[in-house]
Amino acid sequence: MSVTPTPVSDLRILITGGARGIGGATARLLAADGAHVMIADILDDEGRALAAELGPNAIYRHLDVTDAEDWAAAVAAAEERFGSLNALFNNAGIVSFGGIVDQTPEEFRRIVDINLNGVFLGLHTTAPALKRAGGGVVVNTSSTAGLQGYGGIAGYVASKWGVRGLTKAAALDLAPDNIRVMSLHPGPIRTPMTAAMDDTTVQAQPLPRFGEPDEVARMVRFMLSEASFSTGSEFVTDGGAVTGQVLNMPDTDPA
């Protein structure tokens, strides 16, 4: 038996945080391949401009991922405009600096609300629409911070581990409806989010550079279209950052 990939041109996808960065690069790549794309964000000017640039297959919608009413309205609008919705890229997220002691409880709640509760609301609201479409696919953006710890970004790490776990739960719950759910784990990528970080951040990686948004977008396209036997799975694109560590060994050459 052969299982053919879903052609990208069959995708009718909602992308949160789609106005710029990784979400914007993914909207560009998918629209160029013929997908119907709803760019959803709170950056209305940038989102509208990108949708206009991408042409009639792309539309912009204001969507704050923490707002259940925004979600319901966006899903209804996507179904009306595209006929159905069969894919979701839960990409919106923020980073906020602060460790266990100096991050305020309010800031911890805020980042978890956007990065984790927003992903739950997206799954919760779109799953019935994906089921109506006969099945679908969801990519949830975690991070290498969902695979290991980092100091100084406690809320971010907690939220991204949560996304990884929620992805497993959703994959199990939604498989009977022919919906695949996967988590995406980028390392440091050159977007506005990492603008304040310099190259020392990536020096210890096997590939010692920042990734480009388009490199992540190509991974997302693969997950949505080609990865037909994957669900609950973790897809890492990080220049080898979580591969391990090269040890400084003493010189053991007997000569």
In whole angstroms, give the CA distance from residue 179 to residue 80: 21
Q: Which is nearer to ligand NAP, 83 or 109 (CB)?
A: 109
136 vs 239 by CB, closer to ligand NAP? 239
189 near 211, Cβ under 8 Å? Answer: yes
Q: Which CB, 59 or 114, lies closer to ligand NAP?
A: 114
Task: Please identify, using beta-carbon distances, which residue of 21 and 162 lies nearer to ligand NAP.
Answer: 21
Work out how close the CB of 144 gets to ligand NAP at its nearest, in angstroms, rounded to a whole number.
6
In the annotation, is 156 catalytic?
A: yes
Query: Nearer to ligand NAP by C-beta: 6 or 143?
Result: 143
How near is the Cβ of 150 to ligand NAP at its closest, in Å?
11
Which member of 60, 156, 210, 235 is catalytic? 156
Sign of CA dihedral 233, 226, 187, 195: negative
* Beta pairing partners, 137: 87, 180
The footprint of ligand NAP (CB under 6 A) covers 16-17, 19-23, 41-43, 63-66, 91-94, 114, 141, 143, 186, 188-189, 191-194
What is the smallest separation between the CB atom of 15 and ligand NAP, expressed in angstroms?
A: 10
| Least distance (Å) between residue 59 CB and ligand NAP | 16
The DSSP code sequence of 47-115 is HHHHHHHH-TTEEEEE--TT-HHHHHHHHHHHHHHHS---EEEE-------B-TTTS-HHHHHHHHIII
Q: What are phi and psi of 135, to 5 degrees?
A: 135, 175
Distances (CA, A) of 198 to 142, 195, 203, 206: 22, 8, 10, 17
d(CA 195, CA 178): 39
Q: To the nearest whole angstrom, how small is the minimum distance from the Cβ of residue 2 to ligand NAP?
A: 34
Catalytic residues: 156
